[in-house]
Amino acid sequence: MSRLARRPPELRGRIFRGSWAVARGLLTKNDLRSSAWRPLFRGIYADAELAVPHHTRCAVVARWLLPPGAAIAGRSAAVLYGVTNLTEPDAPVEVLVPAGTRLGPMAGLRVHTGTLTPGDVRSRRGIPVTIPGRTCWDLACWLDLVEAVTLVDQFLAGRIVTVPELRSYALSRARARGWRLLQRAVELADPGSESPQESRLRVRLVLAGLPRPETQYVIRDRGGFVARVDLAWPEVRIAVEYDGLWHNDRAPFHRDRQRLNRITITGWLVLHVTAHRLTTDLDGIVRDLRAAFRLRRAR
């Protein structure tokens, strides 16, 4: 193995400060430039063979880079609460620092500046992170409305925070920047959502002017269970099912078709939305639903 690719046993499987490794003679500055080591942040490296998920990157930032009074925030905070999983290997860690505190710019970090009260921050496994209410507030300010609601849905579904708690948090900071954005996100949120794509579909339909659907609605016939559907408008017996990627296994396909037959027999109309259509033809989905509403109301 070449000198530039040497991997001292003391550093294998570890994350470390480059200056620390050089000072102890474990590596040279040239060694740090080799493919054996991966830079995570300025001056901080990881064994290139080590998997570094986002929550670990957050812990690294908290240990070596975060100034006093600052916290992990936004989507990174959502990761620490188990709400989402940022699968992009180099997704920046989002941090919120008090006004007047200098941090960065730095590759791998997304730094936001704002007012942080002591009550806005808690320790989670030794990492300072914004509390759920403040996290949802920041998401509503930093993301577009659909993506913010999608994450708020997951906070609610995981019972990490409740709708009354979010409303109370927004009202306690009335007139502060972003409080109406949080209010709007909470109005559109629904703890019944079972996946981010279901949330995106529901919110986009509502923003397009359609009535708000019920989530995870249970269809019954003569008192017996028939099926549970993703989105439903019971007053007109219309349901929408979100279809993700199908697998080659035929058994789930046949079960789904049997289920669809049972729903249809009860007089419900079911429209299916695929992942591809959600991203490419929202207008068409809305047109189909409007036509279905007109058909049902004309009866």
> Max alpha carbon distance in the chain (Å)?
82
What pLDDT sits at residue 245? Answer: 60
Superfamily of segment(s) 196-297: VSR Endonuclease (3.40.960.10)
- Residue that the structure tokens 């990157």 belong to: 57
What pLDDT sits at residue 1? Answer: 41
What pLDDT sits at residue 2? Answer: 45
What pLDDT sits at residue 178? Answer: 86
Residue 49's CB: how many other CB atoms inside 10 A? 11
What pLDDT sits at residue 249? Answer: 60
Q: How far apart (Å, rounded) are the C-alpha atoms in residues 79 and 66?
A: 17
| Delimiting residues of CATH 3.40.960.10 domain(s) in the chain | 196-297
What pLDDT sits at residue 248? Answer: 53
For residue 234, cis peptide bond before it (omega within 30 degrees of 0): no
> 124: which 2 tokens?
């989670």
Residue-wise pLDDT for 129-155, tens only, equals 999 999 999 999 999 999 999 999 999
What pTM, to 2 d.p., does this model score?
0.90
Q: What parts of the chain have a pLDDT lower than 70? A: 1-5, 245-253
